[in-house]
Amino acid sequence: MPGPTEVEALLADVPGLAPYVRRATLLRPKAGRPTALDSHVGGALLWPVDEPWPVCEGPHLTEVRERLSDADRETLRQIDRAVRERRAGRPYPAYELTPEEAELQSLIMDGASTLDAVARERVRWIGVPTAPGVPLVPVLQLHARDVPPLPLPGDTDVLQVLWCPRQHEDLLGQPHYAGWGPAVQVHHRRAAPLTASSPAREHAEDPYLPRPCVLEPLEVPDLPDPEELPAELLAEVEAWAHAHDAEYGRPLSCRAGWKAGGWPSWHATDPAPIGCPDCGARSELLLTVDSGHDPGLDIAGLGEMRLFGCPVDPGHPIQLNLQ
Ligand SMILES: [Zn+2]
Ligand SMILES: [Zn+2]
């Protein structure tokens, strides 16, 4: 973890970076027993008495397996044998299929996402609606008092993130989602009138069910991904990093872990400019939900779910991105 001094030293030596500093609040979730009154991960949320708990009707991706015909299984056996023979006695080459074999295999795949070579089955993931719906699970509740820079619309002072813990693809209105994962819902509330709490949900070993955690928010300056800096400034920053036996990237920039605000890292894809669907303004990182550590999630292959918000009006729709 970089000391604040390292970031400060970089900022002192490269003053051109100053306009790129954003405030981030590292949420630092620690396994615990939060109540609905706290800012926390998982656990119960403050909830209006008369508001039904939300459900998601999908479509949800479900695995469908198809047994291959005897003829297809025989063809695959022949391909296997041919590959083994080509490979015999040779260290590495000839693993690849010939164009003819590749063509045969793709006919057998028939558009499925994978071929289970052991069970000799085609595996497809298809979107199926789920009635009467899957109850959403609480992911995060943040009070403005604990995360002062949090942008909230109107007179609201609580941000709640819930999601459907099933597998989704191509979420409606989410062109930057790009992957498989949970479907997120965000609520803005005023804490004062709320007396009820949502039912606490038993924690289970599920990649999309966060273990209840209390937070230890810490505000830090955050710097952008190298690819979001102009070339000249990046060269200056990299020269500084080189001179200090460091590298410009994480953890010096795009602080990792659960955080509010700050800069998104683009470690899995190229940076994607995300626009607000309502007003077209360039969206900014609102929240990062991370895999691993105490909450124990596994999103997008131990990756991150990022929520981008509109800098003009925090009431405009949230845009999601998996990384
Ligand atoms: Zn769902
Ligand atoms: Zn907007």
pLDDT on residue 318: 97
- Say how many Å lie between the CA of residue 158 and the centre of ligand 1: 24
User: Three-class SS of residue 60?
Assistant: strand
Q: For residue 43, what are the CA distances in angstroms to 54, 226, 228, 242?
A: 16, 36, 36, 44
* CA-CA-CA-CA torsion sign (267, 268, 273, 276): negative
In a domain, 95, yes or no: yes
Q: Pick the ligand that lies closest to the CA of residue 277.
A: 2
On whether residue 2 sits in a domain, the answer given is no
Whether residue 117 is contained in a domain is answered as: yes
> What's the gap in Å between 278 CA and the centre of ligand 2?
5
Residue 307 is predicted with a pLDDT of 98
State in Å: Cα 19 to ligand 2 middle. 22
Q: Indicate the SS3 state at residue 164.
A: strand
Calculate how far, in angstroms, residue 308's C-alpha sits from the geometric centre of ligand 2. 11
Q: What is the pLDDT of residues 202-222, one digit of tens each?
A: 667 789 999 999 999 999 999
Q: How many domains does the chain have?
A: 1
pLDDT tens digits along 170-191: 888 999 998 889 999 999 999 9
Phi/psi of residue 166, nearest 5 degrees: -110, 175
| Separation of CA 169 and ligand 1 centre (Å) | 10
- Report how far ligand 2's centroid is from the alpha carbon of 173 (Å): 14
Distance 314 CA to ligand 2 centre (A): 7
Query: 112 in a domain, yes or no?
Result: yes
Q: Answer yes or no: is 322 within a domain.
A: no
pTM of the model: 0.86
Q: Is residue 74 part of a domain?
A: yes
* CA of 155 relative to ligand 1 center, distance in Å: 30
Residues of the chain whose pLDDT is less than 70? 1-4, 89, 91-95, 200-203
β-bridge partners, 213? 31, 41
Cα 197 to ligand 2 centroid, rounded to whole Å = 31
Within 10 angstroms of residue 276's Cβ, the number of other Cβ atoms is 20
- From the CA of 134, how far away is ligand 1's center (Å)? 6
- Res 85: pLDDT: 85
Q: CB–CB of 77/249 below 8 Å?
A: no
Q: Does 286 fall in a domain? A: no
Q: Which ligand is nearest to the CA of 283?
A: 2
Task: Please give the pLDDT value at position 214.
Answer: 98
For residue 302, tell me if it sits in a domain: no
Find residue 64's DSSP bridge partners: 124
Domain limits for position 97: 65-128
Q: For 9-43, what is each residue's pLDDT tens digit?
A: 999 999 999 999 999 999 999 999 999 999 999 99
pLDDT of residue 313: 97
pLDDT at 203 (0 to 100) = 67
